[in-house]
Amino acid sequence: MAETWHADELRDGILPVRIDRSDRPVNTFSRRSLDELAEIIARVRRDPTIRGVVFRSAKPGNFIAGADLSELRELAGAQAARELSEHGQRVFADLAALDVPTVALISGACLGGGLEFSLACTYRIADDHRKTLLGLPEVRLGLIPGWGGTVRLPRAIGLRRALPMILTGERVNGRQARHRGLVHDVVPTEALEHVAAEIVRRHVAAAEAGTKHAKPLFWRSGQPRWRRWIEETRAARKLMLRMAERQVLSETHGHYPAPIKAIAVLRAGLVSEPAGFAAESAAIAELSQSPVTTELVRLFFLSEDAKKPPADVKVPIRPDAISNVAVIGAGTMGAGIAQLLAERGIWVRLKDVQTDYLSAGLRKIRQALDKDVARRRVSRLDADRALQHISPTTDYTGMGHADVVIEAVLEEIPIKQQVFRDLAAVAAPAAVLATNTSSLRVEQVTPDVPHPERVLGIHFFNPPHRMPLVEVVRTERTAPEAIATALALVERIGKTPMVVQDCAGFLVNRLLVPYLNEVGYLLVEGATPAAIEQAAIQFGFPMGPLELMDLVGLDVSAHVAENMHRAYGARMEPAPLWQRLRELRAADAGGKKKKGGDKLLGRDWRRRRRLTRPAARMVKRLRKELGERRHEPYAIDTLIERMVYPVINEAARAVDEHVVERPEQIDLAMVFGTGFAPFRGGPLRYAEHVGLARIVATLEQLAVQHPRLAPSDALRRRAAEGRSFLEPIPSRTPVAVA
């Protein structure tokens, strides 16, 4: 019995092939499925009555999601990785060499090996469904396409357009794919089979006519002829690859070998197809043994595990059951949450206290959707439909229809408590009541809510549509049914959930505050902004801590720090610099902020990073008040220790307090929630690499002058026992990407 490829009866000379892997919820390539595809190709070669082949998935929302990582990670060594790559290349080469037309009808995720398969087909037709995404995300797991993607994609859409898809894992929807020439056409889902039959008929008719210059079935879309001509020159290709290499090194700082290896493979592929295929399989063999690949693949599996409910939640997770959500607060976060929900087809009741606030929130949503339309991320019809799913209000009418209510108002306890008292009176008895607070305990803002078993936290990160993580915060009284509803909502909007226990800052912000707080101390001690930013970026953060604080806003950061100080005491005491700057930039008598007063970073005449004048003056004043003497320039390693070791210290406490079910979830949360260097695997994996004993010794030395940095009992105990936070990682690494 076939595992994945199911050939149906011939229809007018067309062989329909259903892609439906029987043992997986999504279609993925295994070794067996590659062999099955080879058997179908051999049958087509033997049977002269077959005039065309049409491939279509039988799984809604999924074409082929790539390779089966759970199987492929069991491969032993580089040679096994090379052999699998070469096997896939041979099968797809045989598919491309068939004398009859082959049509891939793409509906849903077409990623990794799925896209490489479709590139080997004669025609690719996509539908306009929201779930239809095409891409080669292998680089995000430390790999490159291994079944011919580095060779076929540039030939299909041109090198300029192929580079971002291969080097960054960029995914495109059906409309974007049509614009780039990646698919031949985009049609409604219902029309896919009809279009496929017509394509085969016209292709066969043109071949039988034997016209040398037959009219093409599809006009190529996108770049003008002069640009295609320039791109086909050897000099232009060399220049593009040199520029891409320079940009990759600038953005990754050499931490990720896969993009650089991909560029080398692309160079070989532009010489000849055989050279490209050989370079591709050799690169797969080398990258499969990279420690970066090991960590990135580990994070992938952690993200898949995070989608499963906690062990004590036996209630079914039903994303389709979520149809109505109310959002209280139309500020930046509330508007972002409302947009995210509406784009997924959820009816949103958006409330704020004044029409002006509502108007501003709706304007932000409309502007964001207009940008997505301009970039072909969504159609104008989908954007208008999302707006129609948002119903604004200044009162609580309509709240009784909501399955979930999300509060996203100011981070002030009295205001939040009043909102929940109001909600308790108007929301349906079975509705889940959630707070989006980022630093307060859920039970602090919902102390008097009737039926506390339906109360929890759903903490989005800013901006909600970009950040992949959502913390689902359970109190001691939260019922499993409420957690299941929250997880269903998170799955419905395509985010990764992290179930955490109720505590101040939950998990991510609790670990992030010591990192940002230490920067305030370092600046007063004499560390330069440029050195701090450089150290963080060199460590692997996507941006420096000062740039991050400018993005979040000093007022928000300081307010969160104050809440954390109240909850955790001296170790979370805010740096004096942040409090002074907040006071300096406080609102004037009219309640308006001073222009430009919420920024820390600027640039000097040489475009080097420096503090803004108000921040620099305050640093100088504090240094004088505290009697700080001039320090020698800080080494990058010293700065990393000062900023990152406190994160590890707090993570050890979180493990002991069982804030999450398993310690490795801390690694995933910090990577997805803060951008903590993915190639390092997260703070706990990094701690194991450095050595817990060394971290404890360093913190003890620092604590002589900075008592807040003293190592926690949890960290000391682990180091003394020589016991790891995490389970050992497998010695063998995967060689393909799902």
Kind of pairing, strands 185-187 and 14-19? unpaired
CA distance 404 to 358: 20
SS3 447: coil
> Which of these is catalytic: 203, 389, 459, 559?
459
Do 351 and 396 form a contact (C-beta atoms < 8 A)?
yes
Torsion sign across C-alpha atoms 202, 208, 209, 214: positive
Whether 459 is a known active-site residue: answer: yes
φ and ψ of 359, to 5 deg: -60, -40
Picking from 141, 131, 119, the residue whose alpha carbon sits closest to that of residue 171 is 131
The token duo for 399 is 């709240």
DSSP string, 246-296: HHHHHHHTT--HHHHHHHHHHHHHHH-HHHHHHHHHHHHHHHTT-HHHHHH
User: 326 to each of 434, 442, 642, 725, how far by Cα in Å?
Assistant: 10, 18, 42, 40
The token duo for 400 is 């009784």
The Cβ of residue 613 has, within 10 Å, a number of other Cβ atoms equal to 9
Picking from 86, 127, 84, the residue whose alpha carbon sits closest to that of residue 109 is 127
Instruction: Spell out the long-range contacts of 447-453 with Cβ–Cβ below 8 A and sequence spacing 24 or more.
Output: 447/417, 448/417, 448/420, 448/421, 448/424, 449/420, 449/421, 449/423, 449/424, 450/424, 452/477, 452/478, 453/477, 453/478, 453/479, 453/481, 453/482
Q: Which residues of 153-191 are buried (b: 16+ CB within 10 A; e: fewer)?
A: bbebbbbbbbbebbbbbbbbbbbbbbbbbbbbbbbeeee
CA distance 178 to 124: 10
Kind of pairing, strands 102-106 and 52-57? parallel
User: What residues pair up with 5 in beta bridges, in sequence order?
Assistant: 19
Active-site residue numbers?
Answer: 459
